Amino acid sequence: MRLVIVGTGGMANSHARKFGELDGVDIVGGVDRSEDRLSAFCDEHNIPNRFTSLEEAIAWGEFDAVANVTPDAVHHPTTMPLLTAGKHVFCEKPLASNYADANEMATAAEQGGLINMVNLSYRDVSALQKAHELIAAGEIGEVRHFEASYLQSWLTQPAWGHWDKEDRWLWRLSEEHGSLGVLGDVGIHILDFAGFAIGASYQSISCNLKTFDKAPGNQIGDYKLDANDSFTMMAETSSGAIGVVHASRFASGHMNDLHLQVHGTKGGIKVTNTGDLGELFVCSGTNLEKAEWQQVELAPTPNNYRKFAEAVMSAVNGHPTFRHAANLQQVLDLAVESNKDKGRRDIPKSTQLQDA
């Protein structure tokens, strides 16, 4: 598989490393409007072909697939011409800035018969994969309740850098710079994390978004700090379970922590992303009477990069797909609507399909 990486900012380095580890994958080009950034990236990863426009790369055409690592708002305008050119696409999340664009991308990929996947990276957590398997097998009975959170603290502790001095953080706080806030940045991850474990889509949600004052006039340089910093959500799944989902960048003491608890008629499951494989605990069977939790031994599972490469080579699409990410985008759009009047929003049945 001959791969081009579009967008050569910070996250692109992870793509270059992960794809570079795979047999049968040759990273043949990079694309970025910033010539300096492009050159530094391609030099670091020994990438031979460099393009300062997507049009130039498409005209060259000597590649099979693309890793799209551009900012959120640029996913749609960069992916659509790639699909038109017949290229398979592995896109960063969220798929687009709104459901209409995400749906157009999913439809184009499906109609073109192209491999399409979204890097919902916490699908790679072995504990989540095992939880999904156990719940599907009936280990905890019928799911009744769940609690899911994604907690970060980069607005309160500079462990990853100074958010008020670096563009890579500031753009994530500004709607004008293409950010959907914590809802779009990590909310999509925790919604996928919970939905995939449970094995059901979202049927209805009610959401509260909050943007906190962080600077004088809520502006730093060109960045208006108007994107949401925290959200809380009540949700019901298509299987009838109800739960709460929340995320924040003000979660002091938490670097990058996902937590999920799922409770059913015959037991419960706890999942985190801690460590290389995550951690999974189950309370079921004879342990249920004593309310004792047993940790489950885990084995490594393939990551999204490998799954995409294998999908391209086998011509069989992998998961999570563009369609699944578009359906999640519908949830995000309705969450924004819900926040305006603090009301409940029902998810259209056409976007309640659960990705495997």
Question: Do 1 and 312 meet the contact criterion of CB atoms below 8 Å apart?
Answer: yes
> Given this model, what pLDDT does residue 191 score?
97
Largest CA distance in the chain: 65
Percentages of the chain per state (helix, strand, coil), in multiples of 5: 40, 25, 35
Report how far residue 247's alpha carbon sits from residue 263's, in angstroms, rounded to the nearest whole number: 20
Question: Do 230 and 267 meet the contact criterion of CB atoms below 8 Å apart?
Answer: no
First-to-last C-alpha distance (Å) of the chain: 24
Q: Which of 87, 83, 106, 84 has its CA nearest to residue 95?
A: 106
Give the mean model confidence (pLDDT) for residues 166-182: 91
Give the mean model confidence (pLDDT) for residues 81-91: 98
Q: What is the pLDDT of residues 279-304, one digit of tens each?
A: 999 999 999 999 999 999 999 999 99
Determine the Cα angle at 179 with ends 176 and 183, to 5°: 135
Give the torsion sign (CA, 61, 64, 69, 71): positive
Residue 100 has pLDDT above 90, yes or no: yes
Report how far residue 106's alpha carbon sits from residue 124's, in angstroms, rounded to the nearest whole number: 22
Residue 350 has pLDDT above 80, yes or no: no
- Which domains are assigned to the chain? 2-121 (3.40.50.720), 123-302+321-351 (3.30.360.10)
Residue 354 has pLDDT above 80, yes or no: no
Q: What is the pLDDT of residues 187-206, one digit of tens each?
A: 999 999 999 999 999 999 99
Band (pLDDT 50/70/90 cuts) for residue 174 is: very high
Give the mean model confidence (pLDDT) for residues 52-75: 96
> Given this model, what pLDDT does residue 342 score?
86
> Given this model, what pLDDT does residue 355 score?
63
Whether the pTM exceeds 0.75: the reply is yes
With pLDDT > 90 as the criterion, what percentage of the chain qualifies? 90
Which comes out higher in pLDDT, residue 39 or 350? 39
Q: Which of 229, 216, 156, 151 has its CA nearest to residue 190?
A: 151
Residue 116 has pLDDT above 90, yes or no: yes
> Given this model, what pLDDT does residue 160 score?
85
Give the torsion sign (CA, 68, 79, 96, 165): positive
Give the mean model confidence (pLDDT) for residues 219-226: 97
> Given this model, what pLDDT does residue 352 score?
66
Residue 8 has pLDDT above 80, yes or no: yes
Band (pLDDT 50/70/90 cuts) for residue 356 is: low
